[in-house]
Structure 1
Amino acid sequence: MAQRLVAVTVHATASPDPATVHPIVMDIALPLIFTGFGPLPAVTGVRDQTGSWDHVGVSRRPVLSDGTTVFEQITSCSPPDSFAYEVSGLTNVLGRLVHGAIGSWDFARTAGGGTRIGWTYAFRPKRFRTLLVRLLIAPAWRLYMRRALAATRREVGRQTATTAE
């Protein structure tokens, strides 16, 4: 039986082209963009990173403000178009509802030469929890993602403005 995923997707645009945006997003400091939202914890740091966060196989352990950690590993990377990662080892309340998640970012050139950023986070609910994840977690997570994506877009703008000077 196939695992049912509960996916949440958000989009934004940025002025620079995908070749500029992709490496900035991949290397962004997680505490800068994941500042918490309601019951969803902030990322306060990263530990145990196995290399630069720019290729398949590298892993890290984001540390959350609730004192827990998660495990992330890049599963695909196709600059400047996309990258994806798997999240597992959730030990907080969310870990009671989901096995983990699959995150993916895609970067498409806009007609004006900028970038349309798409970010999808697909939860892998535990048995008999799909409806709960769909009705309660996904809407809150969408708001969390929108805030994180807005912060990401600001950081892309800041970094490209700095390099243009």
Structure 2
Amino acid sequence: MVLISRSDRTVAVTVQGRTAADPAWSFDVVVPIDLSLVFRGWGPFPGVQGVRNQTGPWDHVGASRNPQLTDGSSATETLTEYDRGRSFAYELTDFSNVLGRLVSGVRGEWTFTPDGTGTVVRWTYEFKPRRGCFLAIRAGLAPLWRRYLLSGLAGALAAVDREARR
């Protein structure tokens, strides 16, 4: 079952950055990245300290895992799209922290677009608010989450650049 449908009212947060590495290289570094390098925690949001229950390599639709957060909470993450070298998407559900009371889930998507000899990397988090929570997500959570994503994107791009220098 798809988490977000065309008729759903959602809140999307998108950030982007650039790397000198090509799209395929960038994709191959970001997809299997250690989540603790991306989600280090920022402001009121916890970091990721690891994952449990991963169902094999993170390289095909249907793969799933449970990110473990630094506040002791967790979520379920399932890979829903995988277009090697171009994009991947996933859904996060079953948040065991306060986010679970605000959203039914999140659809995340990363895209890797050629930019000269490098890549523009875009990352979108699309929240599906629970009934009565849309304004709280749009006005309260989304602006803060954008800063959290920018911090995470910087960590991912730094990993791409480190690997490219090796």
TM-score of the superposed pair, with normalisation by structure 2:
0.95
Partner residue, 1:132: 136
1:53 aligns with 2:58: yes
The 1-side partners of 2:12 and 2:75 are apart by 19
The 1-side partners of 2:44 and 2:146 are apart by 13
The 2-side partners of 1:17 and 1:32 are apart by 21
| Superposition map of 1:21-60 within 5 A | 21-60=26-65
1:58 positional shift: 0.4
- Residues 76-96 of structure 1 show CA distances to partners (whole Å, capped at 9, x for unaligned) of 000111000000001101111
Q: After the TM superposition, which parts of structure 1 deviate over 2 Å for at least 4 consecutive aligned residues?
A: none
The 2-side partners of 1:121 and 1:51 are apart by 24
1:2 positional shift: 2.3
The letter of the residue matching 1:7 is: A
1:32 positional shift: 1.2
1:114 to 115, 118, 121: 118
The letter of the residue matching 2:41 is: G
Q: Please tell me the root mean square deviation across aligned C-alpha atoms, in Å.
A: 1.0
Partner residue, 1:16: 21
2:109 to 90, 104, 115: 104
TM-score of the superposed pair, with normalisation by structure 1:
0.95
1:39 positional shift: 1.0
The 1-side partners of 2:16 and 2:152 are apart by 11
The letter of the residue matching 2:64 is: S
SS in 2 for 1:148: helix
The 2-side partners of 1:39 and 1:16 are apart by 32
Partner residue, 2:158: 154
- Residues 43-102 of structure 1 show CA distances to partners (whole Å, capped at 9, x for unaligned) of 011010001111111000000011111000000000111000000001101111101100
Instruction: Work out the number of aligned pairs and report it.
Output: 161
Structure 2: 5+ residue runs without aligned partners? 1-5
Identity percentage over the alignment?
Answer: 46
The 1-side partners of 2:10 and 2:39 are apart by 22
Structure 1: 5+ residue runs without aligned partners? none
SS in 1 for 2:85: coil
